[in-house]
Amino acid sequence: MEKPLASGPAELFARIDDYSVANTAAALSEGIVLTTLDNAVNWARKNSIWPMTFGLACCAIELMAAGASRFDIARFGSEVMRFSPRQSDVMIVAGTVTYKMALAVKRIYDQMAEPKWVIAMGACASTGGMYRSYSVLQGVDHILPVDVYVAGCPPRPEALLDALIKLQNKVAKEPVLSTQKTVPA
């Protein structure tokens, strides 16, 4: 390209755009790929979904197994278990949510930065499970917008990894500038 230097980013991008549209084959060989912003950002997002672990019962043991070497959640970019809501993307609610704990679950979820997702791991988090009782919240979807439910009591680590892959597929399709999610009334 025998042209003077671009005056700024806008002109540079416009020039790359024009060039690569005009010379598609050449652009590829020079390492230029065209995509949409949604695709590019979501590609980054879906491969580094950091979990906010919320281990509340025996499901947390399977969650730990999913993080250890045999199942290795790092293969999906989710090995960075954050114990701070500020730095995490997905809340894995693993276990029985009592009404008393529900206050803390909701509060931690509210403290997470957007974008954020929720996996309800196991029967208790999904529906209350076998605890048909005055003290247990009958499904965490009463207070949080759940993206993926995992069946099982407790689910095997493979099931959690499957949920993670499903969540990745979902993240890949979301508009980057999507609005905040809420629990449907």
Which residues form the interface with another protein (CB under 8 A)? 99-100, 102-103, 128, 131-136, 138, 142
Contact 108, 139 (CB under 8 A): no
The reply to whether omega before 154 is within 30° of 0 (cis) is yes
Which lies closer to another protein via its Cβ, residue 28 or residue 130? Answer: 130
Query: At how many degrees (to 10) do helices 157-173 and 59-67 cross?
Result: 70
Rounded to the nearest whole angstrom, what is the least distance from the CB of residue 58 to another protein in the complex?
Answer: 19
Question: Could you tell me where the DSSP H helices lie in the chain?
Answer: 9-22, 24-29, 37-46, 59-67, 99-111, 122-127, 157-173
**Cα–Cα distance for residue pair 151/169, rounded to 1 Å:** 19
Rounded to the nearest whole angstrom, what is the least distance from the CB of residue 98 to another protein in the complex?
Answer: 8
Which lies closer to another protein via its Cβ, residue 51 or residue 122? Answer: 122
Terminal CA-CA length for the chain? 58
Which lies closer to another protein via its Cβ, residue 106 or residue 170? Answer: 106
Rounded to the nearest whole angstrom, what is the least distance from the CB of residue 60 to another protein in the complex?
Answer: 20
Torsion angle (degrees, nearest 10) of CA 106, 108, 166, 169: 110
Q: How many CB atoms lie within 10 A of CB 138?
A: 16
**Cα–Cα distance for residue pair 169/183, rounded to 1 Å:** 21
Rounded to the nearest whole angstrom, what is the least distance from the CB of residue 30 to another protein in the complex?
Answer: 57
Which lies closer to another protein via its Cβ, residue 86 or residue 100? Answer: 100
Which lies closer to another protein via its Cβ, residue 75 or residue 142? Answer: 142
